[in-house]
Amino acid sequence: MKSHNLLEMLSRTVKRFPERTALSWEENDELHKLSYQRLWNMIRDFAFGLEKIGIRSGAKIAIIAENHPRWVICEFAVLSLGATSVPIHPNRHPDQIRKILRHADATGIITDRYELLEKVKGASNLLQHSILLNGKADGSLGALQFETIIQIGQSIANEEQEWAYPSIQPSDVAIIYYPNDKTKTEKGVLLSHRNILNNLQSFLYVIPYTKHDHLLSVLSLSHPFERIAGYLAPLATGAEITYIARDANWVKASKRIKPTLFSLSPVLVHTIYEYLNKQIQSSPAKKYLFQHALRQAEKIYGLKRKGYNWSVPSSLQLHHSISQTLLFAPLQKQLGGRVRFILSGGAPLNEKVHRFFWCINLPVVESYYLTECASVISATNLSCPQPKTAGKPLPGIELRIQADGELMIKIPQVISGYYKIPLSDTNVYTNGWISTGDHAEMDADGTLHNLRRKVELDPQKAVLPTAVH
């Protein structure tokens, strides 16, 4: 049975895996862990605390912070009250943030940056609540500390007050996204619980997450692709997510954290490629051995591209097995040695980069998404390399190419539209079809390729076609 809302989705995971680690984070050179049951309890306490200070159903609450378990706790708590989360990347300019707060009619702001509270003070007459996730709150700005809200909520939870989250309807708005586009600063994309859950279900049907997976979160939690691939998908399956300090080297951190999955943008995948290549180039002998091993691996890669997995010659398989043991495994250990695959969301990877990862047994799944549709639209096949493509549409999603080459999308549910802008007043939605603003080509089997914006993007620097940074 499908979950009614995002809180119900998480509650089901908590019931199945109460003692498994949900979230972990590094702080003061120590790794801290939070079980699913403890996460749920903190969400409940924070929700009761928010309700006590006056946050009600329908309120718009902005979250502007670096990745941390407290970000997750805050958003689920906000959603549990029937309120709406407005995630904003902490690196956006204060002027942009002020405009978003004003346009979204935000009544509260949750942040880990005290100086930001000073800069956005007075952005809107509706802004009543300020909560600081770390550090001491200065009474002059009326901000409350995260711990204070938790304590307030605990006192209420001890009285066994009823939690209202089961009454949240699938059609209720959960998220308002403001794309990082200077021409669209005041264009908030509305996403309902149904929109997000439908996309999550389709995503997990194609991408095999398990309770044994461990994801190192690198993209901002305010990022739409991260919401599905790096945040909700792990929590829906009982997997673990680890957050590291914003100034930490995430590639080197993966060696000690030992993740099984990454959810990245193309430019971040390229960062791993460059890091591993430096290891290969560290000595002439190592470079020679890898070049020979990669040439042999590329032969297998070529057969897999054609779907001939079953016809790889035994001699080639033996050579590849030896290369895996002596060369590729030590290289994989630079990322912890447990990575099953890497998810890349956005513009297609350079074919050389794509081929390299598949050859060293670190397959990359490439995908395309659109914020208006909740997130992921298509993905490549984990069992077969598909370079320079975005794969086939997820279950329930239809694609077509217009005469001018523009990609159009139809999803099972009605999109919620934009905040304060009726769909009828936009040019993005016609008879159930959504205009993406992206040009593409599509094979007879439905595989998307040659994706590009109407204004061409650098494929290594394009994070996502309609990304929120």
Instruction: Report whether 365 contacts 382 (CB < 8 A).
Output: yes
Which of the four pLDDT bands, split at 50, 70 and 90, describes residue 462? very low
Q: pLDDT, tens digit, for every residue of 64-90? A: 999 999 999 999 999 999 999 999 999
Write the class of the CATH domain 6-168. alpha beta
| For the chain, domain boundaries | 6-168, 194-469
Say which CATH topology domain 194-469 has.
Answer: Rossmann fold (3.40.50)
The token duo for 20 is 């498994």
Rounded to the nearest angstrom, the gap between the alpha carbon of residue 194 and the centroid of all alpha carbons in its chain is 17
Instruction: Report whether 114 contacts 143 (CB < 8 A).
Output: yes
Q: pLDDT, tens digit, for every residue of 302-354? A: 888 887 666 778 888 899 899 999 999 999 999 999 999 999 998 889 999 99
Q: pLDDT, tens digit, for every residue of 9-47? A: 999 999 999 999 999 999 888 999 999 999 999 999 999
User: What's residue 454's pLDDT?
Assistant: 61
- Specify the DSSP class assigned to residue 164: -
89-98, 139-148, 334-343, 455-464: segment of lowest average pLDDT: 455-464
User: What's residue 183's pLDDT?
Assistant: 57
Q: pLDDT, tens digit, for every residue of 223-260? A: 999 999 999 999 999 999 999 988 889 999 999 999 99
User: What's residue 457's pLDDT?
Assistant: 38
Q: Is the pLDDT assigned to residue 364 strictly greater than 90?
A: yes
Which of the four pLDDT bands, split at 50, 70 and 90, describes residue 291? very high
Measured in residues, the chain has a length of 469
Please count the other Cβ atoms lying within 10 Å of the Cβ belonging to residue 181: 12
Q: pLDDT, tens digit, for every residue of 186-207? A: 789 999 999 999 999 999 999 9
Please count the other Cβ atoms lying within 10 Å of the Cβ belonging to residue 106: 25
User: What's residue 383's pLDDT?
Assistant: 86
Pick the closest to residue 84 from 174, 186, 5 (CA basis).
174
Round to whole Å and give the CA distance between 55 and 67.
23
Pick the closest to residue 83 from 50, 52, 111 (CA basis).
50
Pick the closest to residue 244 from 212, 272, 218, 280 (CA basis).
218
Round to whole Å and give the CA distance between 439 and 405.
5
Instruction: Report whether 58 contacts 82 (CB < 8 A).
Output: yes
Its pTM stands at 0.93
What average pLDDT does the structure give for the chain? Answer: 90
Round to whole Å and give the CA distance between 47 and 421.
30
| Fold matches, 6-168 and 194-469 | yes
DSSP calls for 397-420: -EEEE-TTSEEEEE-SSPP--BTT
User: How does strand 261-264 pair with strand 341-345?
Assistant: parallel
In this predicted model, which residue has the larger pLDDT, 285 or 412?
Answer: 285
219 burial class (0-12, 13-18, 19+ CB within 10 angstroms)?
Answer: buried
